[in-house]
Structure 1
Amino acid sequence: MLEAAMRAGTHSRDCVFEVFARRLPNGRRYGMVAGTGRLLELIRDFRFDEAELNWLQANSVIGSDALDWLADYRFRGDIRGYREGEVYFPGSPLLVVDAPFADGVILETLTLSVLNYDSAVASAAARMVSVSSGRPLAEMGSRRASEQAAVAAARAAYIAGFDATSNLEAGRSWGVPTMGTAAHSFTLLHDSEEDAFRAQVATMGPGTTLLIDTYDVPKAVETAVRVAGPELGAVRIDSGDLPTVVADVRAQLDSLGATGTRITVTNDLDEYGIAALSASPVDAYGVGTSVVTGSGAPAAGMVFKLVAHRDSRGEWVSVAKTSAQKASLGGRKRPMRQRDERGTAAAEVIYIGDEVQPDPRDRELQVPLVSAGEVDERYLGAAGTALAREHARFAVGELSAESFRLRAGDPAIPTVYLP
């Protein structure tokens, strides 16, 4: 596209690109935006180095003019978008790129690969948080994702409300609180379960979390309290009929005087499994596979579309696809979150065109993210991640109670387009 547009002389036309999702995954009431901070860092640093240019030339991917253009590339346009942590609905213009065609289109795959994955994870994590009854959630899915996606998933889950991750790189790079427990292999390594518990307590102190389902759970509970004392921090259960096992373990811990010892459960939990444990004496959850795979929706279904550009006369024109089932809506847009008198979200109102007069009671959804190629530093790094987590809490707080039901249903609020 770059090379053909350059030959046609259209590559420098001012354009407006828009990122949105036509629909939510089946049964979901809302989505959550995540990945914006990661994407902004990647755009800021997006360059083509000599090795990459040489490969493109050697494999005849593009010609010399396009190669020269890529050699000097850095994004110099403007980007507006929903704040990271914002909730979104079908048609929400999550990201708007204002730039010449070549400058914007070169970012399409990068933008979608980040936002589609991170938002899928955050959207699933938000559902888990909503049914956890305020109990802590730890992201533990690194072994179920690629090495880079594992870090991104930990960050996205934290933005959505998870409390910690087992991925230390996410802690180092993004400031996500980290935690961890011993694996079954640690117990199996030792001559007895008691030897394993003693080694862990000697190193980590009695406040550690002991894994109690390698062999016999009741025996492990007795051994754990005998080794660590009633000050034992927590036990972890990773198998069995969890509601029954958790109730039995709680009763046994209390009978042994370990009334303050917490119970953490893992074992392939998803939002439905967490909801099923709401009446059980669980103190914390560890979630792996389901959160890093979007709990059945591993991509958010976002697309990157051209919605307006200057024509050969320099006039702005709106453009859109009209193909069956994939039609889009052209033109610049200004999205607002309409709220009722109680401050509860009532509609996603999207004004079309430049001359709009939104209701002053509605909340503006887009903020400047990049201006003339300069990224807003507030949204980067650990500080940006913390800011996104704070905004997610606010945005979710505007939703009605009906929005958090797990059964299939329509989006929590309608998307309304106004001229």
Structure 2
Amino acid sequence: MTTALLTDRYELTMIDAAIRSGTHDRECVFEMFTRRLPTGRRYGIVAGTGRLLDLIADFRFTDAELQWLRDEAIVTSATLDWLADYRFAGSIQGYQEGEVFFPNSPILVVQGGFAEAVILETLILSVFNYDSSVASAAARMVGAADGRPLAEMGSRRATEWGAVAAARAAYIAGFGATSNLEAGRRWGIPTMGTAAHAFTLLHDTEEAAFRAQVDALGPSTTLLVDTYDVTAAVALAVEVAGTELGAVRIDSGDLPEQVAAVRRQLDDLGATNTRITVTNDLDEFTIAALRAAPVDSYGVGTSVVTGSGHPAAGMVYKLVARRDDDGEWIPVAKKSAAKATTGGRKHPVRDLAGGVATSETIHVGSDPQPAEGARALLVPLVVGGVADSRYTGAAGTALAREHRAAAVAELPKSARRLGRGEPAIPTVYA
């Protein structure tokens, strides 16, 4: 399936005009970055790279797309001919997926002819704005959980394909599983899920529902205990499954009080190894509030797939440099109020002291050798139009998850605070 029309009309009208003026092949550098983090956020997590590389590979104008553009008179015949042969042949560098980012971090750098690079703008922003928003929110939840596992279960609060992307982004950020089966098949993410309230209501009694589930899945299953009366259901769950019952799930009520009461009841019944999972409209703040409660795991839905109140990461895609007729690079930048940009190609370096990040230094124009203890942040993603396969598929997703853990571990302790504050480290220009 082609991804060529997952774009905005003005991408094509710009190309059409540039072809007319003979500037469409002028070599350019575009950078993607965010001007600011959402209020209170100390850092963001890059997510979407592996998905984008696959989408670019499928960015082709077939006869069907070309005919529609012709019928709608969107571009001229010369541009249709150019689109028919479109293959991205430039280069893309970027922060490795799973990396932490800060305001003005040049997360993605695209170099190529103006037309071949600008046509990818909407696709790039669509992917990174959503995926990075989910991953950034999920990382805060992982920090609040303080080592206890989380499962993503928000498919019913997102679009059908957005749900798959969200599951992947949350996994990269440290969630341990998803309820979404397509995400499991496509990206190798562990899947989980047992039963909803409807299963209990289907049966004549709660006991009949529990017995049916245990018969099908074994005593290690998780039984949902808040359809009717929690105390009665916990006692019934242990009676049906035995003291080796895997877990009980609580999806309502005053969670700190409810969880403490259920833990006492389970222990009194001899089910000391039975875990407690909670799934009641959780976000990073409610998870943090449950830190002292005997919760064993969390299931998060709406909040994670909507970026916990920030469904887009604020990414923009801007032209920062172009070659002139003599082959020299010319920095270019917007000067408009509140949206001014810094011209010139950027080379970001993460500065560290004793393994802890202290600043993000953006070198403009030059590409310096990082000082001892620092690390350059851009990695080659696409060279000559060919994507690095290490960053795609299930293996790329696992690699991004590993990199996220290492990158977050470099941050100062202040990065884990949930309250209002500045980014964890400053961004400076050199």
Give TM-score scaled by structure 2 length.
Answer: 0.96
2:280 maps to 1:233: no
- Specify the alignment match of 1:163 in structure 2: 176
- 1:259-306: CA deviation from partner (whole Å, max 9, x where unpaired): 000000001000000000000000000000000000011000000000
Mapping for residues 183-262 of structure 1, pairs under 5 Å: 183-262=196-275
Matched letter for residue 241 of structure 2: A
- Specify the alignment match of 1:104 in structure 2: 117
Question: For residues 358 and 320 of structure 1, what CA distance do their matches in structure 2 show?
Answer: 26
SS class of match (2:256): helix
Which of 137, 141, 153 is 1:124 aligned to? 137
2:342 maps to 1:329: yes
- Specify the alignment match of 2:48 in structure 1: 35
**Structure 1's 355 and 247: CA in aligned 2 closer, same or farther, altered over 3 A?**
closer
SS class of match (2:145): coil
2:392 maps to 1:394: no
Which of 373, 378, 392 is 1:366 aligned to? 378
How much has 1:213 moved relative to structure 2?
A: 0.2
Matched letter for residue 315 of structure 2: M
* Contact 1:333-1:350 at 8 Å conserved across structures: yes
- 1:196-215: CA deviation from partner (whole Å, max 9, x where unpaired): 00000000000000000000
Mapping for residues 50-129 of structure 1, pairs under 5 Å: 50-129=63-142
How much has 1:181 moved relative to structure 2?
A: 2.5
- Specify the alignment match of 1:308 in structure 2: 321
How much has 1:314 moved relative to structure 2?
A: 2.9
* Contact 1:209-1:235 at 8 Å conserved across structures: yes
Matched letter for residue 75 of structure 2: I
- Specify the alignment match of 2:425 in structure 1: 413
How much has 1:355 moved relative to structure 2?
A: 5.5
Mapping for residues 18-29 of structure 1, pairs under 5 Å: 18-29=31-42
The number of aligned residues is: 417
How much has 1:50 moved relative to structure 2?
A: 1.1
* Contact 2:355-2:373 at 8 Å conserved across structures: no
Which of 10, 13, 22 is 2:26 aligned to? 13
2:359 maps to 1:347: yes
- Specify the alignment match of 2:4 in structure 1: none
Matched letter for residue 380 of structure 1: T
- Specify the alignment match of 2:6 in structure 1: none
- Specify the alignment match of 1:2 in structure 2: 15
How much has 1:45 moved relative to structure 2?
A: 1.8
SS class of match (2:343): coil
Q: 5+ residue gaps in structure 2?
A: 1-13
2:294 maps to 1:281: yes
SS class of match (1:131): helix
Question: For residues 29 and 74 of structure 1, what CA distance do their matches in structure 2 show?
Answer: 38
How much has 1:357 moved relative to structure 2?
A: 4.6
* Contact 1:30-1:89 at 8 Å conserved across structures: yes
How much has 1:333 moved relative to structure 2?
A: 1.1
Identity over aligned residues, as a percent? 70
Question: For residues 72 and 354 of structure 1, what CA distance do their matches in structure 2 show?
Answer: 34
Question: For residues 156 and 190 of structure 1, what CA distance do their matches in structure 2 show?
Answer: 37
How much has 1:312 moved relative to structure 2?
A: 3.2
Mapping for residues 138-153 of structure 1, pairs under 5 Å: 138-153=151-166
Q: 5+ residue gaps in structure 1?
A: none
Question: For residues 65 and 356 of structure 1, what CA distance do their matches in structure 2 show?
Answer: 42
Which of 384, 388, 411 is 2:396 aligned to? 384
- 1:133-172: CA deviation from partner (whole Å, max 9, x where unpaired): 1000000000000000000000000000000000010000
Question: Aligned-pair RMSD on alpha carbons?
Answer: 0.8
Question: For residues 234 and 342 of structure 2, what CA distance do their matches in structure 1 show?
Answer: 60
- 1:17-72: CA deviation from partner (whole Å, max 9, x where unpaired): 00000000111000000000000111122111111111111001111011111111
SS class of match (1:361): coil
* Contact 1:351-1:358 at 8 Å conserved across structures: no
- Specify the alignment match of 2:10 in structure 1: none
- Specify the alignment match of 2:11 in structure 1: none
Matched letter for residue 346 of structure 1: T
- 1:163-194: CA deviation from partner (whole Å, max 9, x where unpaired): 00000100000001100121000000000000
- 1:206-247: CA deviation from partner (whole Å, max 9, x where unpaired): 000000000000000011000000010000000000000000
Moved over 6 A (4+): none
SS class of match (1:15): strand
SS class of match (1:53): helix
SS class of match (1:96): strand
Give TM-score scaled by structure 1 length.
Answer: 0.99
Matched letter for residue 139 of structure 1: E
2:189 maps to 1:173: no
SS class of match (1:334): strand
Question: For residues 401 and 238 of structure 1, what CA distance do their matches in structure 2 show?
Answer: 32
* Contact 2:347-2:367 at 8 Å conserved across structures: no
**Structure 1's 364 and 357: CA in aligned 2 closer, same or farther, altered over 3 A?**
closer
Matched letter for residue 407 of structure 1: G
* Contact 1:118-1:152 at 8 Å conserved across structures: yes
